[in-house]
Amino acid sequence: MEALALGVFAGTFAALAIRQLVGRGPRIWVLLGVGAILTVGTGVLTLPGAAEALANEAPVLLFLLALFVLVAALERSGAIEHLARWVASRAGRPEDLPYLLFLTFGLLAGFVLNDALVLVGVPLAFTLARRLRVDAKPLLLGIAYAVSVGSVLTPLGNPQNLLIATDSGLSSPLLVFVRYLALPTAINLVLGAALLRWSARRRAPSVGQPFDSADPPFPLLPRGGWVDRLQRAPVLFVFPAAVVALFGSSLLGTLAGWEAPPSYLIALGAAVLVLLLTPGRVALVRRTDWTILLLFAGLFVVVAGAVTGGLLGGLERLLPVPGASGPTLGSTGTIVGASLLGSQLVSNVPWVALQIPLLHGLGYGAVTPTAWTALAAGSTLAGNLTLLGAASNLIVVEQAESRGVSIRLGEFVRLGLPLAAITTLVVVGCLFVGL
């Protein structure tokens, strides 16, 4: 069974890698859907087992569905166009755009789920590219890199950090994350922005030339007319209120010791409220990108088959983690390195779900915060190593292709690999020293 599970799993992810290398072939959701069908059809995972895997991940799918509705409403309201004008007004040269987007989305990613950010970021990048007549691809790559670097900071930044916060046994996990990861994240955002600006300057054919169509200084928030604006587009109030509720409930829950409402319920409630209050709600539902939901559903079934077939247990034997012995360079580096590699095989959320019980079995717990923050940082920064390292990358690629832009694996790795190397070294160094 393990050999069969290996064959299905390796075949699915090899097809994904080849597709990104050559830049053509079936869509990502189709390949993962075929992989899921083969997982069940070959007996690696039973049909009830696949249904259970999808049921376990239903909160993720519902969260994404809610975000699609909210983002569609934001697009229709003109909010994304307005944000694009604000960013454009602060970019005097072509090379300014990627690093401005990197800093903006990197800072936001510490407090807003990265999958949610890329759903807003992709249409924003295309709006900017169209408005300023520049290539959208560097902007898309900058956003993809940014959400991986910035979301390291807190449990609110990505699903794998949230898993660690809830299942590691850490007391006050939000404060632990900020204590150990604030400094390396700040350093990495500065270094990442510098790397993107250097790359843009080196490649820009018109270095030093301003945009012909750049806007003058543009306000982030429009002045006046808010009553009429909110009546026409309730999402302008509901969306920021939902973000505040997501962050505030988690923060208060951490500080007060009570269980916060599930994130997907808050997002789902916001989406339902927008649908109820917004005219033309049917059009919003029609704009939902169901292929992204199918992509995640296929990914969950394929990974569940790999777990059931014993494949990941064998992987653990190849990437051994030392027992709990304090913040040594060996243990910290091994946890981060194993997470970087393992996340390329199964994506970072499934990898962390597997690592948590393993680390508990090795003696890691509430008194070993360095190990848990190393797991969070390594699995998250793995998203910049290759496209397959993070689910947020797959969302960017899938949505970009739906708009006619193909991002190849080689294009992503060209900057992602050095960025991953630099940011990983900074995190390992800071965790080992105890900064």
Percentage of the chain modeled with pLDDT above 70: 89
Q: What is the pLDDT of residues 61-90, one digit of tens each?
A: 887 788 778 878 887 888 877 777 777 777
pLDDT at 304: 82
CA separation for the pair 246, 111 (Å, rounded): 9
For residue 249, count other CB atoms closer than 10 A to its CB.
Answer: 17
Which range is least confidently modeled, 316-320, 375-379, 411-415? 316-320
17 pLDDT exceeds 80? no
Q: How confident is the model at residue 13 (pLDDT cuts 50, 70, 90)?
A: confident
User: What pLDDT was estimated at residue 143?
Assistant: 93
Task: Identify the top-confidence range among 110-114, 131-135, 234-238.
Answer: 234-238
pLDDT band at residue 278 under the 50/70/90 scheme: confident
Phi (first) and psi of residue 411, to 5 degrees: -65, -40
Digit-coded pLDDT (tens) for 27-66: 778 888 999 999 999 888 899 999 998 988 788 788 778 8
What's the mean pLDDT when you consider all of the chain? 82
Q: Burial, 212: exposed, middle or buried (Cβ in 10 Å; 0-12, 13-18, 19+)?
A: exposed
> What average pLDDT score do residues 205-232 get?
64
Average pLDDT over residues 3-16: 82
Give, as one character, the DSSP assignment of residue 289: -
Q: With a cut of 60, say whether residue 211 has pLDDT above it.
A: no
pLDDT on residue 209: 46
Nearby residues of 355 by Cβ (< 8 Å), 6 or more positions away: 321, 338, 339, 342, 375, 379
Find out whether 144 and 118 touch, Cβ atoms under 8 Å: yes
Q: Does 149 have pLDDT greater than 90?
A: yes
What is the share, in percent, of the chain residues with pLDDT greater than 90? Answer: 20
Question: Using one digit for the tens of pLDDT, what is the confidence trace for 305-315?
Answer: 887 877 666 65
pLDDT in tens, 341-397: 888 876 787 788 778 877 887 788 888 889 999 999 999 999 999 887 887 888 888
Q: Does the reported pTM lie above 0.85?
A: no
Query: Distance (Å, rounded) from C-alpha 39 to C-alpha 215?
Result: 52
Is the pLDDT at 12 greater than 50? The verdict is yes
Q: Report the alpha-carbon distance of residue 413 to residue 384 in Å, rounded.
A: 8
Q: Does the pLDDT at position 212 exceed 60?
A: no
Instruction: Classify the C-alpha dihedral 185-187-189-195 as positive or negative.
Output: negative
What pLDDT score does 372 carry? 92
Q: Quick one: pLDDT at residue 20?
A: 64
Q: Is the pLDDT of residue 181 over 70?
A: yes
